[in-house]
């Protein structure tokens, strides 16, 4: 009987810990699966897909807003549709683009992008405003209007 009590005092906490660990492993798997389900930059017809090759030419003239993102970044997936909506609303006024920092490492390194999502506004190739983190459409639109 004493042996059974000792075993229960040991087995129950270990079993409970095992269940908790398995739960967190499952949740991490599900989160990773959801984040990697779509690896492309979901863009609208007015959102530019920027790369190391076309970045400098794109930002050189006019006002350009660039969203630095990555497919595995959850806040970036929140910011993405906001950027697309902004691109549709600002069509013809300003250029709106997205740059995947995993695919275009040269530009991200040159600009010192350390956190994502980072949003930079360029006017004639010069950075005029920087945002880090998810920002609402109205804030981004107000800032763009200042530089048009």
Please list the ranges in the chain whose pLDDT falls under 50: 39
What does the pLDDT read at residue 37?
52
Same domain (yes/no): 119, 82: yes
Q: Where in the sequence is the domain holding 4, given as residue range(s)?
A: 1-37
- Alpha carbon of 67 to those of 40, 124, 135: distances in Å? 14, 17, 11
Residue 84 located in a structural domain: yes
What is the reported pLDDT for 133? Answer: 95
Which is catalytic among the residues 59, 63, 70, 73?
73
- Three-state SS for 34-80 is HHCCCCCCCCCCCEEEECCCCHHHHHCCCEEEEEEECCCCHHHHHHH
Residues 15 and 75 in one domain: no
Q: Indicate if 21 and 73 belong to the same structural domain.
A: no
What's the pLDDT score for residue 36? Answer: 57
Whether 76 is catalytic is yes
Number of domains observed in the structure of the chain: 2
Collapsed DSSP state (helix, strand, coil) of residue 91: coil
Q: What's the pLDDT score for residue 34? A: 60
Q: CA 143, CA 148: separation in Å to the nearest integer?
A: 9
Instruction: Identify the pLDDT of residue 8.
Output: 67
From the candidates 65, 66, 70, 76, give the one annotated as an active-site residue: 76
Q: How much is the pLDDT for 130? A: 96
pLDDT at 97: 96
73: annotated active-site residue: yes
Per the listing, tokens 């040159």 go with: 110
């Amino acid at each position: 009987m004493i042996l059974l009590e000792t075993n229960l005092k040991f087995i129950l906490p270990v079993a409970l810990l095992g269940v908790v660990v398995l739960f967190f492993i499952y949740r991490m798997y599900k989160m990773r699966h959801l984040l990697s389900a779509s690896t492309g930059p979901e863009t609208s017809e007015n959102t530019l897909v920027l790369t190391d090759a076309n970045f400098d030419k794109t930002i050189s003239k006019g006002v350009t807003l660039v969203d630095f993102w990555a497919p595995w970044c959850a806040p970036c997936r929140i910011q993405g549709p906001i950027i697309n909506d902004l691109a549709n609303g600002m069509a013809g006024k300003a250029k709106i683009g997205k740059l995947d920092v995993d695919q275009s490492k040269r530009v991200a390194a040159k600009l010192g992008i350390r956190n994502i999502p980072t949003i930079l506004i360029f006017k004639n190739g010069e950075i005029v405003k920087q945002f880090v983190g998810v920002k609402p459409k109205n804030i981004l639109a107000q800032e763009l209007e200042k530089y048009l």
